[in-house]
Structure formats: structure tokens, C-alpha cells
Amino acid sequence: MSPPLHISISEKLRHQIEAGVYASGDRLPSEHQLMETFSVSRITARQAVANLVSQGLAIAYRGKGVFVTPQKKVTYSLSSPLVFLEQDMARQGIAFSFENLVFEPIAAPRDAAVALGIDKASSVYLQKKLFRMDGAAGAVDVSYLIADLGDRFAPLLERQMTFPILAQHGIPIDHLDAVIECTHADYDLSGYLEVPLGHALMVYRYTAYSSNQRPVLHGSTISRADRFCYSLSTRAGASD
């Protein structure tokens, strides 16, 4: 009938957060304080905190305390015509930068080969980038670029975003096919994106086609759910 103790405690804290008792970035009571306030053991107090963390409402730092998750969300417009991520961030007053993690030619994995319409053994360029918004890690992008374009723009690709490079050299992206889904952070991603294990992440899986209908780039952008969302309109010619 009545929920377990740790749920009662975390629900109470959740309501207090939503009511503004604890504001964004505020420090929550320590485990020891929760133990005394609710007369429970540390196990139960920890479980209550873990519930909040798993709901994305709080984040714990060893040695410092537990803090209400700051919610600063960036919107990326998916409506055509294609808007460049950097420009979209700039319009919202976000300082955007990226760190190149990997850039190297490899044999195409199965899914990339299928999406790009090439043989499985063919060469493609694997790109891994870490996107930063206002300095904080916001997304990881893993993509596969067809070999001829990778060869041609190799030095540029490590310093600039792919779509703008292509556009500036007369190879604009004509359209994208995309799937948006949602997943949980595994151990590696939780390290890159500075989120707890299991944190919700958005996955934007795309295949980009050049104007002659040839697929040129296939990849996934995996972003922090608390920092990123996608907007779209089915209105013809919507620009926002």
C-alpha cells in the first residue's frame, strides 16, 4: 500500500525541488542529514538520493555533495532547410565548440555500408567528435564519411564541422533521413558526457544525401537529454 521509505523520501525531495525549495544548482541535504531528518539508515538515505539521480533531478559529487541538476536546454531545429548546428547554437547564445576524438579511415561496418550504399569492405572515414556547449560536454557524434570526400577534405575535417565544409566546396547536403530515439548512458558514454550511469541520452541517427541523391555521411549524435532537444515543424517551408 504505502511506498517504501526511500521512495517517500525521494518523492518528498522531488516535490520540494519542483516547488522551488531547492533551486537549480542548490545543494541538497547530505546523506547524514537525511539519516537524522527521516530517522533512517545510510542505506535508505543513499537509495533516496539514488532515486533522484536516476530521475535526472540531482547529481552527486564525491566530497562535495548532491546538487539539483541545472536545466539549461538547447534546441536544435530539424526543419528543412538544413540549419548548421553551430549557427543554431549561436542564435541561442550558446558558445559551441568541438573536440576531435578520432579521425581515421577504416573498413566500413555493416550498418554504415548499408546506409551509404557501398560494399562492406570499402573504406570510409570514421569521425568521433565531442561537442561542447558553453564549455560543458553536451554530445558525442560518431559518423562515417564516404572515402573520396574524406580523402579530399582530410585536414579540414579535423578542425571544422563536416556539413559546412561540404557546403563551402560546392557539395551541399540536399536532405537527411533520420531517426530519433533515446537510450541510457553506458559506462563509456557516462564518462565522455559527464553524466551518471544510466542517464537518459538522445540519439539522432542520420544519413545525409548530396544533391545528386548520393548518401555521403551516416552517423549518430548522442546527446545529453538534459541539455538538448529537437524541434520540428511540418509546416511547408518552416524556418524555425
Partner DNA sequence: TAAGCTCACTTGTTATGACAAGTTGATCGC
Partner DNA sequence: GCGATCAACTTGTCATAACAAGTGAGCTTA
Q: Which is nearer to DNA, 58 or 115 (CB)?
A: 58
- Picked from a second copy, DNA, none, the partner binding residue 234 (CB below 5 to 8 A depending on kind) is a second copy
- Picked from DNA, a second copy, none, the partner binding residue 60 (CB below 5 to 8 A depending on kind) is DNA
Q: Which is nearer to a second copy, 148 or 186 (CB)?
A: 186
10: contact with DNA by CB under 7 A: no
199: contact with DNA by CB under 7 A: no
- Picked from DNA, a second copy, none, the partner binding residue 32 (CB below 5 to 8 A depending on kind) is DNA
Candidates 30-38, 106-114, 138-146, 213-221: pick the segment binding DNA (CB under 7 A).
30-38
β-sheet bridge partners, residue 58: 68
Residue showing cell 579511415: 105
> What is the rounded distance in angstroms from the CA atom of residue 123 to the CA atom of residue 170?
23
Judged by CB under 7 A, the residue of 30, 79, 123, 190 near DNA is: 30
Angle at 43 between CA 38 and CA 47, to 5 degrees: 80
Element holding 216 (H helix, E strand): strand 215-224
CA distances from 134 to 6, 162, 163, 223 (A): 35, 21, 21, 14
Number of residues near DNA (by CB under 7 A): 25
> What is the rounded distance in angstroms from the CA atom of residue 45 to the CA atom of residue 128?
39
Its sign, for the CA torsion 219, 222, 228, 234, is positive
Residue showing cell 524556418: 239
Q: How far is the CB of 187 from a second copy (least distance, A)?
A: 6
C-beta separation of 134 from 154 below 8 A: no
- Picked from DNA, a second copy, none, the partner binding residue 12 (CB below 5 to 8 A depending on kind) is none
Q: How far is the CB of 207 from DNA (least distance, A)?
A: 38
Query: Which among 147, 148, 131, 150 is positioned nearest to 139, based on CA atoms?
Result: 131
Q: Which is nearer to a second copy, 130 or 189 (CB)?
A: 189
DSSP state of 218: E
Judged by CB under 7 A, the residue of 19, 20, 39, 182 near DNA is: 39
42: contact with DNA by CB under 7 A: yes
- Picked from DNA, a second copy, none, the partner binding residue 200 (CB below 5 to 8 A depending on kind) is a second copy
- Picked from a second copy, DNA, none, the partner binding residue 107 (CB below 5 to 8 A depending on kind) is none
Q: Which is nearer to a second copy, 125 or 195 (CB)?
A: 195
Burial classification of residue 62, based on how many CB atoms lie within 10 Å of its CB (0-12 exposed, 13-18 middle, 19 or more buried):
exposed
Catalog residues that contact DNA under the rule CB under 7 A: 4-7, 28, 30-33, 39-44, 46-47, 49, 60-66
